Structure 1
Amino acid sequence: MAVYSQADLDALDVAISSKGAIKKVRIEDREVEFRDVSEMLEIRRHIERQLRNKKRSALGRRHTFAFKKAIE
């Protein structure tokens, strides 16, 4: 599984904002050439999901309990 960084997402954003003028992007220490902007947007969504999931797992799970009545 690929390990993406925020820098990968930022590089992709620069290429997307160029409206297709930039087709090669360095992602994960590899140079990737895209056919068009829609392909860039697809991989951008994938990287963003991966980063979001990585951030969630780093925070850990939090549980909140609510009790209606005290136990006697």
Structure 2
Amino acid sequence: MSDYAQAVTEFYKKNLSNTSLDKSTLVGDCPFCPEKGMDGGSKLAVIVNPESFFLGFFRCLNRCVPGGFPLWY
């Protein structure tokens, strides 16, 4: 894994709670749902495949935010 891919993965692991890695997707509790007044039990999925053009792209499974890359997070 490249240094950038490792840094992106570590960034999300540090900033998300209850993370789990499933193949090339990191899943954790969404920190944005409570801010939007939505159910706090939703998950945030992050692409951590170092070969993907979408490395670091996140998306709330509850759609409380449109999604984005680490700089937006």
Indicate whether the TM-score tops 0.5.
Answer: no
> Which one has more relative contact order, counting CA pairs under 8 Å at least 6 apart?
1
- TM-score, normalised to structure 1, is 0.30
More strand by share: 2
- Structure showing greater Rg: 1
